[in-house]
Amino acid sequence: MSGYLDKAQPHENSDAKTRRKLLDQRRMEYRRAIEAHAEARQLQHELIDFPELLATRYLHSLQAANAASAR
């Protein structure tokens, strides 16, 4: 009977490790998304003091969009 239990445990441990790994991956993705959002907000906050940079960035994005749609 103990042989049966010994054989079942590695499979159960593997499932638990897989679940933990998936949860860790999800947490890291969520954390990266939060950090990216915080960085974008910080950059936006810093650029508010320089409206000409925002206008230039907007114009460049429009030009890039027009060039991409022309292709």
Confidence of residue 8 (pLDDT cuts 50, 70, 90): low
Instruction: Calculate the average pLDDT of the chain.
Output: 82
* 47, 53 Cβ separation under 8 angstroms: yes
Q: Render 24-57 in DSSP notation, one character per residue.
A: HHHHHHHHHHHHHHHHHHHHHHHHTT-HHHHHHH
Sequence letter at residue 6: D
The distance of Cα 51 from the centroid of its chain, to the nearest Å, equals 29
Domain enclosing residue 58, as ranges: 2-70
d(CA 2, CA 14): 19
Prediction pTM value: 0.51
Total number of domains constituting the chain? 1
Q: How many residues are given for the chain? A: 71
